[in-house]
Structure 1
Amino acid sequence: MTDPVPDIRTVILERDFAHGPEKLWRALTQPHLIEEWLMANNFAPAVGHKFRFTADWGGVDCKVREIEPNKTLSYTWDAYGLESTVTWTLTPIPSGTQLRMEQTGFRPDQDQAFHGAQAGWRNFFNQLGALLDRPD
């Protein structure tokens, strides 16, 4: 017997950063820093807060679902028919912090969005790393 093919797909990226969780948390939750590596936004770290990411191609409507400072941040990510959830998990490691990003909710018919997210998040992680490596 084989397992059924899952209906929903997930993009997962993990990267170790040579910075403490507090520094990553600031980059994930302070609007002016988020704008430097991700997109312009009106984010506020409060459960239930509705916010929007904007770029030259359009925007993403979001709502904060979960916040545990320096550990977990989760929000909805709704754009162009994609209704997904992005969850960030910060885990202290001896060399700094492991950051895990999981975006779940891609339907089988959303192949372009799924592959676009895989490439897009890798780029965003690179931009985040450049931001984190700058002197404070």
Structure 2
Amino acid sequence: MKDANHLEIAPDALEFEYDLAEPPEKVWRALTVPELLAAWMMPNDIRPRPGSRFAFAGPDAPIECEILDAEPERLLRYSWREQSDDAAHPLDSTVTFTLARTVSGGTHLRIVHDGFARKAMPAVAMAGAGCRLSLLGAGTPIAANTPRLLLPRAA
């Protein structure tokens, strides 16, 4: 299956979609400024330029990443290589953030973690990927650590 950006998505990919009141400029900052990203994900040294490598300070070992695509305020896609219990078979996956301006000036944010569910049960996958889900609010699933928490500081 392909998404709106014509990127292949595995049928077992983890997908999350959110409508945020904040504009894409602010959401982009929450995804690409190391200090802001660290506040809701993990410490990192991200530089949002295709080909640049960065790492998240994972709980057991660094998670090695490489920027695959970066279109400011629209698309961020990076590889995610995390050592697993089986050192010979690290978790190789791809994370894609797609941002689209809504009619009200906010952001429709779509997050796809492709390749993660093949190796782990979805509940474990969400916790390990920093995408912990909680059912709060008006029956709408929202991530406990979604960029929404950081957006007020991303101005």
TM-score, normalised by the number of residues in structure 2: 0.73
1:117 counterpart = 2:125: yes
Change (3 A) 1:135 1:89: closer
Instruction: State the shift of 1:8 in Å.
Output: 6.0
1:27-46 maps to which residues of 2 (within 5 A)? Answer: 27-46=30-49
Task: Provide the residue aligned with 1:105 in structure 2.
Answer: 115
1:126 counterpart = 2:144: yes
- The gaps in structure 1 that reach 5 residues or longer are 1-6
Contact conserved, 1:64 with 1:75, CA < 8 A, in 2? Answer: yes
Compare the two structures and name the one with the higher strand fraction.
Answer: 1
Compare the two structures and name the one with the higher helix fraction.
Answer: 1
Structure 1 stretches of at least 4 aligned residues deviating more than 4 Å after TM superposition? none
Letter of the structure 2 residue corresponding to residue 117 of structure 1 = A
Letter of the structure 2 residue corresponding to residue 115 of structure 1 = A
Change (3 A) 1:33 1:134: closer
Higher relative contact order (CA 8 A, sep 6+): 1
Alignment root-mean-square deviation, CA: 2.2
- The gaps in structure 2 that reach 5 residues or longer are 1-9, 85-89, 134-141
Distance 1:56 1:111 in 2: 17
Which of 52-61 and 62-71 deviates more?
52-61
Contact conserved, 1:13 with 1:122, CA < 8 A, in 2? Answer: no
Contact conserved, 1:17 with 1:98, CA < 8 A, in 2? Answer: yes
